[in-house]
Structure 1
């Protein structure tokens, strides 16, 4: 079988490997679709994680069909369609430093268990949409960390896959109004298509003034005017986002950070003392990996809009180049048939 690997700094290759052998507690999944994550580009640029320099399998956003089931596995059978939790492999995270990656013809899932390592999906859910399960779990964890409630007004910064997934999640949780902010017009159009109530192009508009215009005027604890927004979610990871939030946040607003900031961001705590805001960080998906599956099943048409590009597995190396090129694609999915 073929597996995509990082073979050195800036280098990838399609490597021939033996087909996996299924143990009594394992399953083998024929991968049908796998998304490309921003972390894949990082691993390629560095030559892999330190523990797997020069020979690191890629791919952790997988959906596929079960083709072999160990004798001790319960609740799974050949032919089941599944999404996979890459964190569940006892040998290491799939596609993130473990011995296996999901950019492969067949993936061994050790100690397979429904609800922990895999979730079964319906036959009519397209595999490419199902492959969004892992990144959408990240988005939903970010949303859950901000504890939204009905009637809240929300601003999401960043209309990449995580920001778009968060916008869908906020709307399905019943918030009153969601604004999405980005600098790329095509992304903002997609944000509206997945259910955002309004968008702001921060390259062309005064973000703080526009948020106030859309969400009304609130105040900090001493009565100074602020935007009426209840929740801000940073899915962009740029300092300008934090500056905009700190200039807008009203008393008791919540700020969630799901983006990875590559540089330190200075914050003037004196300026925001009177806001008494709640700052929460979000990483991974402690409980959301299969909670989000039901949302994808129910809102598949919305989630499908997040996919910008599809490549065949034969062209996986080209797909990785496209996904690693800034501005070339938003969400790349590799399909296998």
Structure 2
């Protein structure tokens, strides 16, 4: 039997078994080593806070059931191929699969994990892929002054990538002073919103808050650009387009991981983008995002604890 984690109702989950099956043509059987829980979409599902009108948009690739539950949901899984094509047999792979001890998926859904990327760190691949797409969208230039607003998983991953660019200035901005520890681990300057430097060429907004969006526009210099990564669900945040917005010729542009950034779409597939993201995880600085570890058997209790822990970033789930 396969065993998987299901959210059964808002705030509650359990492990359930299901019949196992052998892989067919073009498929592989994966034994899970690690999976990851981030504080973003997955905890919205756990708390039953996904609006019905956007539930379809938020479906995970191998989700079963529907929100608010029962639903099998998740998208950060690292395992080893135990049955499948010879070129993948015995190799570690990343898959956008829910928390489950073993599973069968199409081979095309698997991306090999580089040898120099530990399995714990590899669960971050989905988040880093979102950040890679944002960097492709934003296209920072030599000597740019950049602010990333929102030091959660996505904002932190964007800052982690940008810290290797030849920028004049990079600041990670958040209202939570505890996020200074993440910035320090990445070697990036941390600022509270009121302390952030203005005159930015580029602001990447990841806080999912009206206040963060407004502050991001304030930080831009003349003809600067804000790349909006936040997902607001059914909320309709006010955007300050009055005042000097037009006179300063500011730009607000969306970035979303569902499609490869337009600047790379003709030459990169989503599989290419995920492979790029996994290679970035050879950098040990990404270990700063791994704020907890727990056993798969304890996942129902772990999910409840994470919902009440604002300091958590990514929880690593370990499998026997």
Q: Shared fold (TM-score greater than 0.5)? A: yes
Would you identify which runs of 4 or more consecutive aligned residues in structure 1 move more than 3 Å?
Answer: 47-51
Q: In structure 1, what is the equivalent of residue 130 of structure 2?
A: 138
Question: Structure 1: which 5+ runs fail to align?
Answer: 87-93, 95-100, 212-226
1:64 aligns with 2:79: yes
TM-score by length of 1: 0.80
Q: In structure 1, what is the equivalent of residue 66 of structure 2?
A: 52
- Given candidates 260, 275, 278, the residue that maps to 1:290 is 275
- Structure 1 residue 18: deviation in Å? 1.8
Q: In structure 2, what is the equivalent of residue 270 of structure 1?
A: 242
Question: Structure 2: which 5+ runs fail to align?
Answer: 57-64, 261-269
1:79 aligns with 2:75: no
Q: In structure 1, what is the equivalent of residue 254 of structure 2?
A: 281
TM-score by length of 2: 0.84
State the aligned residue count.
Answer: 291
- Given candidates 146, 150, 156, the residue that maps to 1:154 is 146
- Structure 1 residue 326: deviation in Å? 4.5
In the alignment, the residues of structure 1 paired with residue 166 and residue 104 of structure 2 have an alpha-carbon distance, to the nearest angstrom, of 39
In the alignment, the residues of structure 2 paired with residue 248 and residue 46 of structure 1 have an alpha-carbon distance, to the nearest angstrom, of 35
1:334 aligns with 2:317: yes
In the alignment, the residues of structure 1 paired with residue 135 and residue 301 of structure 2 have an alpha-carbon distance, to the nearest angstrom, of 33
Would you say the 8 A contact 1:322–1:328 is kept in 2? no
In the alignment, the residues of structure 2 paired with residue 295 and residue 240 of structure 1 have an alpha-carbon distance, to the nearest angstrom, of 31
Q: Secondary structure at the match of 1:275?
A: coil
Q: Secondary structure at the match of 2:289?
A: coil
Q: In structure 2, what is the equivalent of residue 240 of structure 1?
A: 211
- Structure 1 residue 308: deviation in Å? 0.8
Q: Secondary structure at the match of 1:104?
A: coil
Q: In structure 1, what is the equivalent of residue 25 of structure 2?
A: 24
- Given candidates 71, 89, 110, the residue that maps to 1:118 is 110
Q: In structure 1, what is the equivalent of residue 227 of structure 2?
A: 256
- Structure 1 residue 328: deviation in Å? 4.6
- Structure 1 residue 160: deviation in Å? 1.0
In the alignment, the residues of structure 2 paired with residue 267 and residue 77 of structure 1 have an alpha-carbon distance, to the nearest angstrom, of 48
Q: In structure 1, what is the equivalent of residue 297 of structure 2?
A: 314
In the alignment, the residues of structure 1 paired with residue 27 and residue 5 of structure 2 have an alpha-carbon distance, to the nearest angstrom, of 22
- Given candidates 94, 111, 120, the residue that maps to 1:128 is 120
- Structure 1 residue 124: deviation in Å? 4.2
1:229-261 per-position Cα deviation (integer Å, ceiling 9, x unaligned): 111111111111122122232122110111223
- Structure 1 residue 105: deviation in Å? 0.5
CA 1:65–1:140: 2 relative to 1, 3 Å: same
Q: Secondary structure at the match of 1:253?
A: strand
- Structure 1 residue 273: deviation in Å? 0.2
In the alignment, the residues of structure 1 paired with residue 181 and residue 44 of structure 2 have an alpha-carbon distance, to the nearest angstrom, of 28
CA 1:267–1:39: 2 relative to 1, 3 Å: closer
CA RMSD of aligned residues (A): 2.1
In the alignment, the residues of structure 2 paired with residue 106 and residue 153 of structure 1 have an alpha-carbon distance, to the nearest angstrom, of 46
- Largest Rg, 1 or 2: 1
Report matched runs for 1:90-109 at 5 Å: 94=97, 101=98, 103-109=99-105
Moved more, 232-241 or 167-176: 167-176
In the alignment, the residues of structure 2 paired with residue 177 and residue 108 of structure 1 have an alpha-carbon distance, to the nearest angstrom, of 46
Would you say the 8 A contact 1:252–1:277 is kept in 2? yes
- Structure 1 residue 137: deviation in Å? 0.7
- Given candidates 32, 41, 44, the residue that maps to 1:42 is 44
In the alignment, the residues of structure 2 paired with residue 240 and residue 182 of structure 1 have an alpha-carbon distance, to the nearest angstrom, of 11
